[in-house]
Amino acid sequence: MIRATSVFVSEPGDRSVLQVRDHDLPDPAEGEVQVEVAAAGVNFIDVYKRQGVYPVQTPFVLGEEGAGTVTALGAGVSGLSVGDRVAWCQSSGSESTVVNKPARLLVPVPDGVDLEIAAAAMLQGLTAHYLVTSTYAVGPGTVALVHAAAGGVGQLLVQMVTARGGVVVATAGSDEKLEIAKALGAQRLINYSEVDDLAGAVRDAAGRGVDVAYDGVGRSTFDASLASLRPRGMMVLFGGASGQVPPFDIQRLNSGGSLFLTRPTLANYVAEREEYEWRAGQVLGAVADGSLKIEVGGRYPLAEAPAAYEALEGRRTTGKLILVPTA
Ligand code: NDP
């Protein structure tokens, strides 16, 4: 048993329900590994869980991803040693100084990749990876709409679409954010806080309807995303940063031109260890060889977790926010 410090959600609610406090952490159980956390990633799913949009029994520790150094092994764990550098996602309770994680969720961090960058790359990186490889297979000439293109997932989508020869129509809420997307390869830029007809602006920018719309903004962009698609285009609603999309009339897929609609989630694209390893290997490998850039847009001590979420929810961030054990 050791002491750990973690970010707890005491009950569903606003940021005032966050509590950073010490607690006992038992030794790792069978199949588990104890990890000293170097950094944990801040994600929108933490907001949904805290608010109760995704119901979770309280109290619980926030944080779906992280990276750190193995400090102890539970019974039955093989292939890992004390001192190994590891990363994970799809595992709650990561906003802590020390965690016990199932060994099957840990992946090796390549030499040369900083642990804080690895933590920042996992959840959003694997998300962008499945979105461009499996939800819609982006290839040369694919025209993709990417909303909130300077955000965490957005920056990675821009890079992964362009790396596959696709063309990105990027949106963001300010010209400064659009400059970030442009520097990462986005060819067409739209400041959606300044246009009345977003779908028209997307079609003008693309020269036609887009093949795929990657929409993690949700409520405020969904209708325009759908109206931006070419016939038989793919609407990928993968989040609701602006709020959840209300119930939907399926006939709109018909009138829009035989459209496809999916609402994917990472869990279904990393459920098998082999697929998880493949995606993590590709993402961390691209970080290691410099072909995928991770912008850490904010680095907060665990004790300042509420400030990190205030910035994320307030649209004041670019790239990825991480929490670290100390300042
Ligand atoms: P971001 O860094 O993209 O931050 C959200 C961005 O959304 C903001 O910076 C802002 O950019 C834009 N936005 C527009 N309207 C609002 C609003 N009302 N409130 C807050 N933000 C708004 O976050 P993440 O990269 O962490 O996540 C992006 C989306 O991806 C989220 O919806 C998240 O849930 C989803 N996601 C889904 C996964 C899945 O598997 N389905 C996995 C991981 C993330 P701007 O100012 O440019 O408009």
Q: What is the CATH code of the structural domain delimited by 136-263? A: 3.40.50.720
pLDDT digits (tens, 9 = 90+) for 1-33: 999 999 999 999 999 999 999 999 999 999 999
pLDDT on residue 326: 82
- With left for phi above 0 and alpha for psi between -120 and 50, is residue 315 left, alpha or beta? left
From 158, 217, 295, give the residue whose CB has the most ligand 1 atoms within 8 Å, as the site to mutate. 217
* Cα 216 to averaged position of ligand 1 atoms, centre (Å): 5
The alpha carbon dihedral of 29, 33, 35, 41 has a sign of negative
Q: CA 202 to CA 225: how far, in whole Å? A: 9
Which atom of ligand 1 is the closest one to the Cα of 266? 40
pLDDT of residue 194: 97
> What's the average model confidence in pLDDT over 118-135?
98
Most informative mutation of 15, 42, 43 for ligand 1 (most atoms within 8 A of CB): 43
CB 239 within 8 A of CB 44: yes
Which secondary-structure segment (H or E) carries 171? strand 167-172
What percentage of the chain has pLDDT greater than the value 90? 98
What confidence tens digit (pLDDT) does each residue in 53-82 have?
Answer: 999 999 999 999 999 999 999 999 999 999
Domain boundaries, the chain: 2-123+270-324, 136-263
State both tokens at 122: 């996992």
- Higher model confidence: residue 319 or residue 326? 319
CATH fold of the domain at 2-123+270-324: Quinone Oxidoreductase; Chain A, domain 1 (3.90.180)
Say what the ipTM of the complex is.
Answer: 0.99
179: which 2 tokens?
Answer: 């400059």
Q: Which two tokens stand for residue 247?
A: 């119930």
Provide the whole-model pTM: 0.97
DSSP-assigned states of every residue in 77-121: --S--TT-EEEE-S-S--SBSEEEEEGGG-EEPPTT--HHHHHHH
What's the pLDDT band for 155 if we cut at 50, 70, 90? very high
What residues form DSSP beta bridges with 260?
234
If you average pLDDT over residues 301-313, what whole number do you get?
96
Probe residue for ligand 1, chosen from 14, 15, 43, 44 as the CB with the greatest number of ligand atoms within 8 Å: 44
Pocket of ligand 1 (CB under 6 A): 43-45, 123-124, 127, 148, 150-154, 172-173, 177, 216-217, 220, 238-242, 264-266, 312-313, 315, 317
Ligand 1 centre to CA of 76 (Å) is 39
Judged against a pLDDT cut of 60, whether residue 327 lies above it is answered with: no
Helix intervals (H) in the chain: 44-51, 115-130, 152-163, 175-183, 198-206, 222-227, 251-255, 273-288, 305-313
